Amino acid sequence: MSESPIKIYKWLYPVSWIYGAGVWLRNKLFDWGYYKERKFDLPVICIGNITVGGTGKTPHTEYLIRLLQKTHQVAVLSRGYKRKSEGFILAEMNTPVSMIGDEPYQMKQKFPDIHMAVDKDRCHGIEQLCRKNVSPETEVVLLDDAFQHRYVQAGMNILLVDYHRLICDDALLPAGRMREPLSGKNRANIVIITKCPKNTSPMEYRVLTKKMDLFPYQQLFFTSFQYAKLHPLFNGGQDYSIHQIKPDIHILLVTGIHILLVTGIASPTSMIEELSTVSSHIHPLTFSDHHDFSAKDMETIKEEFEKLPKDRRMIITTEKDSTRMATHPDLAESVKPYIYVLPIEVIFLQDQEKSFNSKIMDYVRKDSRNSHISTKQNTY
């Protein structure tokens, strides 16, 4: 495994030590029972990380939705990062993205049958999701990005770790990107190293397993991303694989299509690498994570697109960014037919999918039985 070029600002270590002491004390107050954790009478699965930046929380949450919605009524609770609303909101299909945030909006559009809710107070949010007049028959709750929200005692904690920035090689904020000390991983039942190269060797898996140094009660999994079919953001185009993007045979059989890659995510590196396999003309237009596109941004997209060769150009963006672009009033009509969305899906490596699925389903079934027993006892 090649060494990851993790940048640590060592001159900020003194500040990190102060920050770390505060986080350590907060966690201890939970461990000692001074701060109260609340357990709910239904399966609650938390998906999160202990670093800032993207580790793939949304694709992994969507994987769990696909797995569970076949047999259970799934509810997803998020804080709704950068939404322009407050309190608890249960999303409908026509709820604006500004009211719930881009990722909850994306999940509700892809999975209409789930209960998708946002609430900064996760305990209050779960309470609302358990009310029959709010979200009938909720059977399992997925907490999106709530690993540090310890007021909820989840029955299953899933910790995501970026292959390219392992937590065992990182440092606390602000010197590094860790939200809490490395010992925070001990709260996880499952640890997933995400974004692994598909050609990772058996030796690399052994090295990664040793570096993570997990306890016997924890299980380690490895995942990668695969890209689903491109689909047009607006009506009028057709879906196709990125490997169907072919060089224009009228352009000397050499130069291919030019791709303006518009992203507002933590790290577009993997998308750039994937698209580079089908075109040598990638033009990244990168914004900050969860970027709120302005009228000026829309004009920039139009200007950058018009610089590319006619008849050999397209715009590709992420699912998350597409939710904000699709409803933006200042997006130029002239570029709409050229905008395509590239979805990503999680795949498990080392034939671990069955093992992971079984672990999740066994927990949900067991906790569901326990909650039914508890409910019956409370009625006597």
**232-238 mean pLDDT:** 74
Structural domains present in the chain: 10-226+347-379 (3.40.50.300), 231-342 (3.40.50)
Omega before 174 cis (within 30°)?
A: yes
Burial class (CB in 10 A: 0-12, 13-18, 19+), 204: middle
Please answer whether residues 114 and 74 qualify as being in contact, where contact means their C-beta atoms are separated by less than 8 angstroms. Answer: yes
State pTM to two decimals: 0.88
- Over 80: is that where the pLDDT of 4 sits? no
The token pair that represents 290 in the structure block? 């969860």
Determine what percent of the chain is predicted with pLDDT higher than 90: 67
Place of tokens 């929380």: 57
- Over 80: is that where the pLDDT of 233 sits? yes
- Over 50: is that where the pLDDT of 124 sits? yes
**What is the reported pLDDT for 236?**
60
Distance CA 275, CA 261 (A): 9
Q: What is the DSSP code (8-state) at residue 174?
A: T
The token pair that represents 366 in the structure block? 């067991």
Determine what percent of the chain is predicted with pLDDT higher than 70: 90
**What is the reported pLDDT for 380?**
36
- 272-309 per-residue burial string, b: 16 or more CB within 10 A, e: under 16: eebbeebbebbbebebeebbebeeebbeebbeebeebe
What's the chain's average pLDDT? 88
Please count the helices (runs of H) and the strands (runs of E) in the chain.
10, 14
Distance CA 16, CA 254 (A): 51
The token pair that represents 335 in the structure block? 């570029």
pLDDT band at 176 (very low <50, low <70, confident <90, very high): very high
Q: What is the pLDDT of residues 368-377, one digit of tens each?
A: 766 544 444 4
**End-to-end alpha-carbon separation of the chain, Å?**
59
What's at 101, amino acid-wise?
A: G
**Residue 242, CA distances (Å) to 91, 197, 229, 239, 314 in order:** 32, 18, 7, 10, 12
Q: What is the pLDDT of residues 333-363, one digit of tens each?
A: 999 989 999 988 999 999 999 999 999 999 9
Distance CA 17, CA 22 (A): 9
